[in-house]
Copies of this chain bind each other. A is one copy, B any other.
Amino acid sequence: MNLSDSINSVSSINSIDLNTVGREMYKLISELYPICRSITGDGLRETLRHIQTYIPLSIHEIPTGTEVFDWTVPKEWNIRDAYIKNSKGEKIVDYKKSNLHLVNYSIPFHQKVSLNELKEHLFSLPEHPDWIPYRTSYYRENWGFCLTHHQWLELKDEEYEVCIDSSLEKGHLSYGEYYHQGRGLDEVLISSHACHPSLCNDNLSGVALTTFLAKHLTPLSLRYSYRFLFIPGTIGSIAWLCLNESKVPRIKHGLVVACVGDPSRLTYKRSRRGDAEIDKAVTHVLKHSDQDCEIMDFAPYGYDERQFCSPAFNLPVGSLTRTPHGRFPQYHTSADNLDLVHPEYLADSFATYLSVLDVLENNRKYLNQNPKCEPQLGKRGLYRAVGGSADDGTDELAMLWVLNLSDGKHTLLDISERSGLPFDLIRDGAKALFEHKLLKEC
């Protein structure tokens, strides 16, 4: 294995045109936006097939009734149409205008109901009267509609015709998986939930970023193998973990990708372990960016890190988002639309993910081959010829740090952290020293 190959492989991606990638991700989001996804059904399947036009994704189907740990794969849900008509026969709420209007997983229903009965099945947001909320009822058979609060206020005391042309029957739960083989079997897991209907930041942005990460890593020879999952939230990760339990120990690092297109600062939620290498890598990259960022502790709430970090797995999986789960006002409403996400923020998130992967790919331990005193860098052309000036070149300083701490106990990331120097500089210093045989890999 050639160190410099390894050192360059991911960071070479940084030469890609981020503006273009940002626009391509936005385009993919736009293509997927109209589809009504759920945790099962044809909308999810159609989404995965569309992703196959970008990357060679495998689509897996798990039959209804399959027991996965404490859970059971539910019946498959499909929806054709749904509406509420008033007494004049006018459609006052229409699924065809927005798939958020229907409570996701609503059972088939066609009946006349009074206003009072109807209201028990309606959801609106008085604090945002123009927005339609997004609600689900996956595990309890029920039906309901979501509407703007303006619509809700206009409801009169009359009889309504409720029609939900859905099916809830034995079928399958679908998910997509793409595995990129690296030089070793140790894996990096990149997971995004793909079960939300017309909602952009949560989580078509995550789906798009995962797709483009996979696309860009595909041509590269990498240290790690990469596993990309496009799964329905909760039940998808539970099913994957249950059916792939033997592969779980290979996962050495992981990130749950969600909400990566909005204009806010980047936020990293640590893994349950809190000090895993992925935690240190993301923290390092964020702190050395010139942007504001937030680092949060793990909590057993949010996205699929809940399952990856359950106590028996306790995987080193964190979540790198922009505004996190539940913290933006448009979250789980019709306002999480194509206006909320922007190519430039998608591109910034993408670049940050790449920087993190670059750290993981290059974060090794080396052994200083001249550990007694400094080696004479000058005779190797690695040190300034004229001495005496007060300024220390950061390149020289990076090499001195690498030499000083390459005692078999410190990774390059540890050295970056202790020195306060960015990983790139430490990595390049290590590369120069390695090429002069002053370092050996540990």
Contacts and interface: CB of A to CB of B under 8 A. Distances in A.
Interface of A: 68-71, 103-104, 123, 133-140, 142, 144, 234, 237-238, 241-242, 245, 272, 297, 299-301, 306-307, 309-314, 326-327, 331-332, 368, 370-376, 378-379, 385-392, 397, 400-401, 403-407, 418-419
B140 A310 contact: no
Contacts of A375: 69-70
Nearest to A379: B139
Contacts of A299: 397, 401, 419
A301 B310 CA distance: 45
B404 A309 contact: yes
Contacts of A374: 70, 234, 238, 300, 306-307, 310
A388 B133 contact: yes
A1 B437 CA distance: 52
With most chain B CB atoms within 10 A of its CB, the pick from A71, A370, A372, A374 is A372
**Which of A138, A238, A297, A404 neighbours the largest number of chain B CB atoms within 10 Å of its CB?**
A404
A242 B373 contact: yes
A273 to B, nearest CB: 12
B405 A373 contact: no
Given A70-B376, A241-B373, A372-B69, A386 B311 contact: no
Contacts of A241: 372-373
Greatest chain B CB density within 10 A among A272, A310, A379, A397 is at A310
Contacts of A400: 300-301, 306
Contact of A311 (B69, B332, B406): B406
A139 B376 contact: yes
B387 A310 contact: no
Contacts of A388: 104, 133-136, 332
A333 to B, nearest CB: 9
A403 to B, nearest CB: 7
22 contacts: A69-B370, A69-B373, A70-B370, A70-B376, A104-B388, A133-B388, A133-B389, A134-B388, A136-B386, A137-B385, A140-B385, A234-B374, A242-B372, A272-B404, A301-B400, A309-B404, A310-B371, A310-B403, A311-B405, A326-B390, A326-B391, A332-B389
Interface centre among A140, A242, A307 (most CB of B within 10 A): A140
A139 B380 CA distance: 11
A71 B313 contact: no
Given A144-B386, A242-B373, A311-B407, 17 more contacts: A70-B376, A71-B376, A104-B388, A123-B386, A133-B388, A133-B389, A134-B388, A135-B389, A138-B387, A142-B386, A237-B373, A241-B373, A242-B372, A299-B419, A310-B371, A313-B373, A327-B390
A103 B397 contact: no
A418 B311 CA distance: 15
A113 to B, nearest CB: 18
A4 to B, nearest CB: 23
Q: Which 9 A-B pairs have the closest CB atoms?
A: A312-B371, A326-B390, A300-B404, A311-B407, A136-B387, A300-B400, A70-B375, A135-B388, A312-B372
B300 A403 contact: yes
Given A299-B419, A400-B306, A311 B371 contact: yes
Contacts of A300: 374, 397, 400-401, 403-404
Contact of A378 (B140, B309, B405, B407): B140
A272 B415 CA distance: 13
Nearest to A328: B390
A368 B306 contact: no
A369 to B, nearest CB: 10
A385 B326 CA distance: 18
A98 B389 CA distance: 18
B385 A142 contact: yes
A435 B168 CA distance: 33
A386 B103 contact: yes
The listed residue with most B CB atoms (<10 A of its CB), out of A71, A138, A387, A392, is A387
A99 B136 CA distance: 75
A42 to B, nearest CB: 21
